Amino acid sequence: MKVLRFVCLILAALVGNSVFAQSQRKLGQLMRERGEYYFTLSVDDPLAIQSIGEICSVDATDGKTVVAYANQKEYDKLLSLGYQPELQTPPSLRANVTMWDGQGTYNWDSYLTYDQYVSMMEGFSDKAIEGRECTLFSLGTLSTSAHRQLLGVRINNGNPEGKPKFLYTSTMHGDEITGMILMLRLIDELCTSTDSRIVNLVNDLDIYIMPLTNPDGTYKGGNSTVNSAQRYNGNNIDLNRNYKDYYQGAHPDGNSYEDETIWTMAMGDENLFTMSANYHGGAEVMNYPWDAVYDDHADKDWYEYVCTEYVQIARQTYSSYMSDTYSDGVTNGAAWYVITGSRQDYMNAYGQCREVTVECSTTKTPSASQLSNFWNYNHNSMLAFMEQCRNGVHGVVRDADTGEPVEGVKVTVLNHDSETSFITTHSVGDFHRPIKGGSYIIQFTKEGYCSERMNVTVADGQRVDLDVYLTPEGNCPVLMNCYEQLMPSTDGSYVMGYLDDSTLHMPTHNNSSSVTTTSVDVTPTENGFTVGEESTIPQVTLTAYGSNGQYYIRYNNRYLARATYSNTLTWNTTTSQYGRWYINANGIYITRNNTNYYLYYSNGSFQISTSQNNNITFYTEGNCPPEQVVSLGIDWNWWTPTLEMSLDDLEAALGSNAILINSQDEGFARYDGEGWSGTLDTIVAGQMYRILTTAATEFTLSGEAVVSTITFLPGYNWFGYTGSQSKNVAMALGDFTPTEGDTITAEDGTTATFTNGSWNDNFILVPGHGYVYHSNAQESRNITFE
């Protein structure tokens, strides 16, 4: 789909003018009949590429030439705007297409007619071995003249409930056909192989595979051949620009949703697939979200991990596979080039699905004899990618009172997820969250229940299963996002401020999953509370909340303590004879007759002592400190701090992953393998620094947030965007009035120009990123980001 190969396409320019004109006329006639134009355009301005992409489908660009597709309407618009497209032979007409003769056994080395394809799809159910369900499904029959269907096969062991759903699809661009054959061959293997790896996949997943999601495009030349396949669908619409777009809203391409789009969006909404990959052709590269904006996906590090794994496994078979576009074979969609209305973005933003785009062959319709090679390159990678669907954090959420599974619980990874990356529980309360190895706090929320949190640590390639119980709403605790440690108070009196009623709770735990809460009436006093010397000593309980060894002790919906225990919590006051209870940073303590007895935790149980044991730390709700998550790629990065921070902090965070930091005034800091030195002595929020790294690196800085005022001098200015969120350039600059011709350039070379009183809206400023502003004004001007 996206490709940077032009060599064969510009041959036309080398032949004589009259011959060229003649061939252009012939191609023009052919394309008018087909309804789809394929052409190149010369561009002298990077902004022009974006403008062209807003009119038709840009398939590739190297910055000087654009390869694109258009339907008649889009093509007419280009011509009316004065563009001069140079028509090229469509990819499917350049291919050496061999169709299967239908004789004997199909050997995956020829293309299939539409009827052969349908018949093969219908046959998988019968072909499935004992213990496999291979069920044909159809999303619908297209209303175009040939009435072709969007078919798929659902594969599992007959018992799919509670398992992650996985989706593979291909060929939404009708002339990108390699993936279609890969998908068919994979279905065949999943339905028939007894290899243990396949058995495990079928047992653990609920798999949906749709080999051909644009049949009208692929069989544009009739049901008997894929020769003259086209990119667009039967109504000449690019399906991969036709989806609802999280950033641009409905109908980003200006067209109504095609049937193929409506059905696929509904399937995604209904199934909430855990993972998916969608196969294209025209390049060889793994492409992950977002396509529409430069913002990082919350799971960027996971995407890099699984995409890199895909490429590396494929390269065990063919060492230069997936190297035509990027040497590591992996890219963020927008970093390649921006498109809106893509399926990948839809599935990620609305379908709770982690979907990637696999560009699997440089040639869109390769010679049929090559098909087996592409299977060999991709086969193990396809299995490994599916296996990632079993990893990460999984579990079941149940009602704590009834034990019934709870559907539709929002599962959010705190300090990680964005508005688009959370998931919800499925029909049997099950949830499935692939995630990069690490330690996370996962929050479970649903209306009518108290929110619950669990700490979890998971490694790459492994899975953790959680049993989660949600308590129906009532006296729900207040969950804290951030904690402040309570400082000791000499008399402990501040702690008693928590006693806002006459009931105290203390913990009695038999084991980590069984919590008993009992309570007693006590009399609050200025210094705490008392129970009469003669009265029965209270059996009281603090509730402990948490999991995996970490407990938060709460009282009256306030968190009082956080402690890490091995497993057992026990505390019983029945036999204690003390009259006053305190809690402070030294522990929970009890005083009677002017003697303090401290509660502390030791060897798996709470104990009482007359000496302080400072082993329980108390926390209360606090304000979350501002943080800046910094993610630097290999090579040069344009970066700015959004927090008050020191050069030492930055150098420590970079460790040995960076070798140079430059500022605009030529100040520098250099890392020589042992330490940092140079002329740079401070780091100023709002100034841009260029950091040269030797390895991708990620770290989190915390400190005071700053509102920085930047001065733009005439000419070039390095600056950093310190706003609180990503904004397009016009919004980010707020009241600031640019001068005609002012430009902003980003690290990736994209530039916005202030022309005729406005900016190009698609240029996004991202907090923490650096930019170069060229000011045409005669005087210096200030700007403040908020």
CB-nearer residue toward Zn ion: 283 or 466: 283
> Cβ distance 509 to 516 under 8 Å?
yes
Least Å from the CB of residue 70 to Zn ion: 15
Closest CA to 563 of 554, 574, 576: 554
154: helix, strand or coil: strand
> Cβ distance 786 to 723 under 8 Å?
yes
Least Å from the CB of residue 94 to Zn ion: 16
β-strand pairing of 523-525 with 508-511: unpaired
CB-nearer residue toward Zn ion: 359 or 430: 359
CB-nearer residue toward Zn ion: 239 or 306: 239
Least Å from the CB of residue 1 to Zn ion: 2
DSSP character at residue 487: P
User: Is-cis flag, bond preceding 290, omega within 30?
Assistant: yes
Least Å from the CB of residue 282 to Zn ion: 6
Least Å from the CB of residue 232 to Zn ion: 11
What gap in Å lies between CA 500 and CA 521, rounded to an integer?
12
Q: Which residues bind Zn ion (CB under 5 A)?
A: 1, 173, 176, 280
CB-nearer residue toward Zn ion: 148 or 280: 280
CB-nearer residue toward Zn ion: 173 or 343: 173
By beta-carbon distance, which residue lies closest to Zn ion? 1
Alpha carbon distance, N-terminus to C-terminus of the chain: 39
Least Å from the CB of residue 283 to Zn ion: 9
Least Å from the CB of residue 399 to Zn ion: 45
Identity of the amino acid at 462: Q
Structure tokens at 602: 């030791």
> Cβ distance 442 to 466 under 8 Å?
yes
CB-nearer residue toward Zn ion: 173 or 562: 173
Structure tokens at 147: 């009435």
Least Å from the CB of residue 66 to Zn ion: 16
Q: Which residue has the tokens 């060894």?
A: 549
Contacts of 595 (CB under 8 A, 6+ apart): 610
CB-nearer residue toward Zn ion: 165 or 343: 343
DSSP character at residue 472: B
Least Å from the CB of residue 15 to Zn ion: 29
What gap in Å lies between CA 121 and CA 134, rounded to an integer?
10
CB-nearer residue toward Zn ion: 282 or 768: 282
> Cβ distance 713 to 739 under 8 Å?
no
Structure tokens at 246: 């999280």
DSSP character at residue 324: S
Least Å from the CB of residue 280 to Zn ion: 3
What gap in Å lies between CA 429 and CA 398, rounded to an integer?
7
Q: Number of helices and strands (H, E) in the chain?
A: 16, 49
Angle at alpha carbon of residue 547, lines to 400 and 502, rounded to 5°: 70
CB-nearer residue toward Zn ion: 258 or 417: 258
Q: Which residue has the tokens 């209270």?
A: 538
CB-nearer residue toward Zn ion: 176 or 253: 176
CB-nearer residue toward Zn ion: 283 or 499: 283
Structure tokens at 742: 């002012």
Which element (helix H / strand E) includes 321? none
DSSP character at residue 604: T
CB-nearer residue toward Zn ion: 329 or 507: 329
Per-position b or e across 725-735, b if 16+ CB within 10 A of its CB: ebbbbbebbee
